[in-house]
């Protein structure tokens, strides 16, 4: 249960970005700008998908270790 909750906490920002990628291009301001709407759709959607896919705890641990090694090397 705790693992699912931790994953959900890390994945929620990704889901929010995917939702922005779907909803924002539907705004009337983009009605005449299809290229801008497409860019706005794919940017947040892909970033959100990447966040959701990498939301596993092992990724977080590996990133923390890499940052720690980089700081120690300075």
Please state, in angstroms and rounded to a whole number, the distance separating the CA atoms of residues 2 and 16.
Answer: 22
Q: Under a CB-based contact definition with an 8 Å cutoff, are residues 51 and 13 in contact?
A: yes
pLDDT-derived band at 69 (thresholds 50, 70, 90) equals: confident
What's the number of domains the chain is made of? Answer: 1
Please state, in angstroms and rounded to a whole number, the distance separating the CA atoms of residues 12 and 65.
Answer: 23
Structural domain containing residue 10: 2-73
| pTM for this model (two decimals) | 0.60
Each residue's pLDDT tens digit, 9-52: 777 888 888 888 888 888 888 778 888 787 778 888 888 888 77
């Amino acid at each position: 249960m705790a693992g699912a909750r931790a994953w959900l906490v890390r994945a929620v920002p990704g889901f929010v970005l995917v939702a922005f990628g779907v909803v924002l291009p539907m705004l009337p301001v983009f009605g005449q700008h299809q290229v801008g709407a497409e860019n706005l759709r794919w940017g947040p959607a892909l970033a959100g998908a990447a966040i959701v896919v990498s939301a596993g705890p092992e990724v977080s641990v590996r990133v923390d270790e890499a940052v720690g090694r980089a700081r120690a090397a300075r």
